[in-house]
Amino acid sequence: MSALPSTTVWAWQRPERLTFIDTRKSAVGVLAETITLSSPNIKIEPRLQPVATPEGTREIAVFRLQAPANANLSDQARGGVVWEVTKIAEYAKPSAIQIDFDATVSQREFYRALLKDLRAQLPREMPLSMTALVSWCSGDDWIGDLPVDEAVPMYFRMGVDNENIRRSLMDVRALREPLCRGSVGVSLDEPWPRFDYGVRVYAFAPAAWTETEYRSVLERLAR
């Protein structure tokens, strides 16, 4: 991951015109697919909206996994997800792959096996990133041996954990899990945690990015 720019803007499922980004300073995390672990077969929602970026932009292909109440956690479902991710990695040739999955305790073994399978089948030089609940980074102790290059603690849309995290866990440097201390996920419409200058920042905008918003992120980071 150290070969990528230190700031990434997420392009979610909406039209994004990001021709104004500085490719030396920023990568783009493009939501490639949303995969629902439904039964009997997983459901694939491909990206339907255009993303315009400057020539030379480093792109991270992001895969959002969703698990309904009757989530399909079978070996077949896992194989289907791995096939989808590796297929896009092969033909789109992104600079990295990122998996976004808020796995519950009962879904962790499925997720662990999925990441192991992905790491085995992706090109050796392809970085593999995952997003992480802040609670996973501060005392849960289940992600430390996962075969990923980074776990990005998500400091926004934190749900029931929001109050506790904002009260006691707003310093990335203090997170117990080393995988989580090198990057952070933030949103333009919520408070940011404290972190060192060298931390890789993934920034989310609640609406389509504007050049003004992008420049304000770089100024805030002094990058």
Identity of residue 192: W
**What is the mean pLDDT of the segment spanning 196-204?**
95
Answer yes or no: is pLDDT of 47 > 90: yes
Start-end of H helices in the chain: 75-92, 108-121, 134-135, 162-168, 211-221
Contact 117, 82 (CB under 8 A): yes
pLDDT band per the 50, 70, 90 thresholds, residue 158: low
- The pLDDT value recorded for residue 49 is 95
Whether the pLDDT of residue 1 is over 80: the answer is yes
Q: What is the pTM of this model?
A: 0.95
CA 8, CA 29: separation in Å to the nearest integer? 6
| Least confident stretch, 57-61, 195-199, 209-213 | 195-199
Instruction: State what percent of residues in the chain have pLDDT above 70.
Output: 99
pLDDT in tens, 23-35: 999 999 999 999 9
pLDDT of 141: 84
pLDDT value, residue 90: 95
Amino acid 83: pLDDT: 97
Span 164-181, average pLDDT: 86
Q: What angle do CA 43, 49, 51 make, to 5 degrees?
A: 125
Does pLDDT of 168 surpass 90?
no
pLDDT at 159: 72
Mean pLDDT in residue range 49-55: 97
Computed over every residue of the chain, the mean pLDDT equals 94
> b/e string for 183-206 if b means 16 or more Cβ within 10 A?
bbbbbbeeebbebeeebbbbbbbe
Does residue 6 carry a pLDDT above 90?
Answer: yes
Tell me, what's the pLDDT at 163? Answer: 75
Chain segment 99-152, per-residue pLDDT in tens: 999 999 999 999 999 999 999 999 999 999 999 999 999 988 899 999 999 999
